[in-house]
C-alpha cells in the first residue's frame, strides 16, 4: 500500500453503518416545528464505550449522567436532543436527563444505566420534558420496528434513519456532518466506522467543543477506546475554534459493539486508529467550515516548533484571533495579525525566525515582511479553504488547527440566538 493511500474507504449508512447499530431521528417540536430534534443511536448488543467531555466548569446536566453511566465502560444506546441544552436549571435538569435515559430503557428493554444522554441548545431554560419524552417514545418505537424487521436488508431505510439522527442533533448547523468508512482487515472481514457530529457556534478547543458520536463494529475494550478517542480528539475537535467559547455541553462518545467479530491487531489496529483519527478530523473540519456565519475554512499549520504543545497553542491562537478571522473575511493579507496572534499564544519561539505563508505564497520571512504579489494573495484568500502555514525554525514538532472567518452573519446569528 502506498503510504499516502488510505487503508479504508468511504461507505454508506452514516452512524448506523457498523453492524448491529441502528439510529433514527424524530421531530418532537422542542424548539421548532418541522425540525428533527431527538435522535437515538442503539446497539443490539452491549458495546464497549468511551467518552470525552467539556472542560468548562459549568457543565450541563446530561454530562454528569453520561459520565456516571459510562463508569463501567459499557453502553447500549445514546439519546440526544437539540433545541435545549438542559444546562443551569437545577435539580429539574438532573431529573430530566434521567427521565430521558429511563424512557429509552423502558422502550428498548435496557437498564437506564446503559443509556447515555446528550443535549444541545439554549442554556438556562427548562426543557419541555413532555415533548422530549414523547419524541423519545416515537423514536424508540421506530427503532424497535427497524430491529424486528431486520432493517439491514432495507438499505435505504437504514440510511434514512441514520441521516435523520444526524439532522436531529443539529442546531445552527447548516450542513449535515456524517461519515461512514469501512476497513478491510488482513485476516479477512471488514470493520465499519460511523459518525455524526454537530457544532457551529460556541466552538473552541477544550475537549470536544461540540457533540460527536462514533460507532464501530470492531471489538476493543473500553480502556483502549478511551485512549484512541482521547488521542483522536486532541488532534481534531480540540484543534477547532469558531469563536473561542467552550460550551457547557460538549461531548464525544465512541461505542464499539464487536459485531464484526474482529478485534483488530497489528497493522489492522494501526489502520483502525488512523481511521478513527481521520474521521474525527473530517468532522472537525466540517464544524469549522460550518462555523456560525462562516464563509471560509481556515487551516493553520505550524511546523518547526520545539514542542507539540507550542505548535498547537500557536495554531489555535491564530484560528481564534478575531482580527485574523475578520481579515480572512475581508481577504486582506494582513500577516502582521497572524504573527501577533502567535506572539500572544503563550508558546515559546523566536519571532525573528518565523516564516509565514498564505497557501504557497511567502508573505513574511525571518519575522519580517517580504515583497509579495497582492493579487496572488487576494486570489489565495478568495478560496473557500485558506491554508496558513508558519515555520518557526525552532524544532521538529508540528500541529494543525481549523477555524473560519468572522462575518457579518456571525454577528446577526448570535445577536438573536435565544429569542
Does the annotation count 400 as an active-site position? Answer: no
Residue in 53, 410, 419, 412 with CA at minimum distance from that of residue 202: 410
Q: Does 87 bind its own copies (CB under 8 A)?
A: yes
Cβ closer to its own copies: 182 or 292? 292
By the rule CB under 8 A, 55 interacts with its own copies: yes
User: What is the β-pairing status of strands 190-198 and 211-216?
Assistant: antiparallel
Q: How many residues does the chain have?
A: 419
**Positions 348 through 377 that interact with its own copies (CB under 8 A):** 348-349, 351-352, 364, 366-369, 374
Whole-angstrom Cα Rg for the chain: 22
What is the grid cell recorded at 109?
428493554
According to the binding rule CB under 8 A, does residue 300 interact with its own copies? no
Q: Are 230 and 51 in contact (CB under 8 A)?
A: no
Task: Report the residue number, 36 or 349, with the smaller CB distance to its own copies.
Answer: 349
Catalytic entry in 24, 209, 215, 248: 209
Interacting residue with its own copies among 128, 184, 336, 395 (CB under 8 A): 336
Residue with cell 500541529: 399
Instruction: Decide whether 184 or 343 has the Cβ nearer to its own copies.
Output: 343
What CA–CA distance (Å, rounded) separates 272 from 7?
9
- Which H helix or E strand runs over 143? helix 129-149
CB of 355 to its own copies, least distance (A): 12
Stretch that binds its own copies, among 189-197, 258-266, 346-354, 389-397 (CB under 8 A): 346-354
Minimal distance, residue 274 CB to its own copies, in Å: 31
User: Which span (132-140, 160-168, 242-250, 383-391) binds its own copies, by CB under 8 A?
Assistant: 242-250
Write down the least CB distance from residue 83 to its own copies, Å. Answer: 14
Question: Would you count residue 323 as binding its own copies (CB under 8 A)?
Answer: yes
8 A C-beta contact, residue 283 and residue 212: yes
- For cell 456571525, what's the residue? 410
Comparing C-alpha atoms, which of 259, 260, 326 is closest to residue 294? 326
Contact call for residue 88 and its own copies (CB under 8 A): yes
Identity of the residue, 147 or 362, whose beta carbon is nearer to its own copies in the bound complex: 362
Give the N- to C-terminal CA distance of the chain in Å, as an integer.
54
Pick out residues in 152-191 that bind its own copies (CB under 8 A): none
What are the strands, taking DSSP E only, across 245-296? Answer: 251-256
Residue corresponding to grid cell 504573527 = 339
Nearer to its own copies, 360 or 375 (CB): 375
Closer residue to its own copies (CB): 39 or 381? 381
| Contact status: 201 vs its own copies (CB under 8 A) | yes
Q: Which whole-number Å values give the CA distances from 394 to 304, 306, 310, in the listed order?
A: 5, 6, 10
302 binds its own copies (CB under 8 A): no
3-class DSSP state of 180: strand
3: left (phi over 0), alpha (psi -120 to 50) or beta: alpha
CB of 165 to its own copies, least distance (A): 25
Residues that bind its own copies (CB under 8 A): 55-59, 85, 87-90, 122-126, 201-202, 204, 206, 243-248, 320-323, 326-327, 329-337, 339-344, 347-349, 351-352, 364, 366-369, 374, 406-408, 410-419
Catalytic site positions: 209
Amino acid at each position: 500500500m502506498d503510504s499516502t493511500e488510505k487503508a479504508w474507504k468511504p461507505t454508506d449508512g452514516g452512524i448506523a453503518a457498523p453492524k448491529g447499530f441502528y439510529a433514527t431521528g424524530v421531530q418532537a417540536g422542542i424548539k421548532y416545528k418541522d425540525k428533527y430534534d431527538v435522535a437515538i443511536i442503539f446497539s443490539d448488543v452491549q458495546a464497549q464505550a468511551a467518552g470525552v467531555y467539556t472542560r468548562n466548569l459549568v457543565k450541563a446536566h446530561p454530562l454528569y449522567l453520561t459520565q456516571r453511566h459510562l463508569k463501567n465502560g459499557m453502553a447500549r444506546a445514546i439519546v440526544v436532543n437539540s433545541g435545549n441544552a438542559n444546562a443551569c436549571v437545577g435539580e429539574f435538569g438532573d431529573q430530566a436527563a434521567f427521565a430521558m435515559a429511563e424512557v429509552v430503557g423502558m422502550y428498548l428493554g435496557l437498564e437506564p444505566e446503559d443509556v447515555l444522554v446528550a443535549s444541545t441548545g439554549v442554556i438556562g431554560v427548562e426543557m419541555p420534558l413532555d415533548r422530549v419524552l414523547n419524541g423519545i417514545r416515537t423514536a424508540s418505537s421506530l427503532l424497535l420496528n427497524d430491529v424486528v424487521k431486520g432493517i439491514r436488508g432495507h438499505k435505504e431505510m437504514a440510511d434514512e434513519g441514520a441521516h435523520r439522527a444526524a439532522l436531529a442533533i443539529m442546531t445552527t448547523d447548516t450542513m449535515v456532518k456524517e461519515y461512514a468508512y469501512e476497513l478491510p482487515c488482513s485476516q479477512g472481514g471488514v470493520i465499519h466506522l460511523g459518525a455524526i457530529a454537530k457544532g457551529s457556534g460556541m466552538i473552541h478547543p477544550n475537549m470536544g467543543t461540540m457533540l460527536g458520536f462514533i460507532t464501530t463494529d470492531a471489538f476493543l475494550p473500553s480502556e483502549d477506546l478511551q485512549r484512541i478517542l482521547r488521542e483522536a480528539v486532541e488532534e481534531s475537535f480540540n484543534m477547532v475554534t469558531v469563536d473561542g467559547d467552550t460550551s457547557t455541553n460538549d461531548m464525544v462518545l465512541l461505542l464499539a459493539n464487536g459485531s464484526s467479530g474482529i478485534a483488530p491487531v497489528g497493522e489492522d489496529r494501526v489502520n483502525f486508529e488512523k481511521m478513527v483519527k481521520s474521521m474525527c478530523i473530517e468532522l472537525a473540519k466540517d464544524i469549522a467550515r460550518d462555523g456560525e456565519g462562516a464563509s471560509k475554512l481556515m487551516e493553520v499549520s505550524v511546523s518547526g516548533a520545539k514542542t507539540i504543545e507550542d505548535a498547537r497553542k500557536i495554531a489555535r491562537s491564530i484560528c481564534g484571533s478575531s482580527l485574523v478571522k475578520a481579515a480572512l473575511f475581508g481577504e486582506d493579507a494582513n500577516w502582521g495579525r497572524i504573527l501577533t496572534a502567535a506572539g500572544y499564544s503563550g508558546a515559546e519561539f523566536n519571532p525573528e525566525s518565523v516564516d509565514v505563508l498564505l497557501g504557497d505564497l511567502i508573505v513574511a520571512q525571518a519575522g519580517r515582511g517580504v515583497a509579495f504579489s497582492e493579487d496572488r494573495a487576494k486570489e489565495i484568500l478568495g478560496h473557500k479553504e485558506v491554508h496558513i502555514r508558519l515555520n518557526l525554525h525552532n524544532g521538529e514538532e508540528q500541529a494543525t488547527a481549523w477555524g473560519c472567518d468572522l462575518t457579518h452573519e456571525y454577528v446577526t446569528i448570535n445577536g438573536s440566538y435565544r429569542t
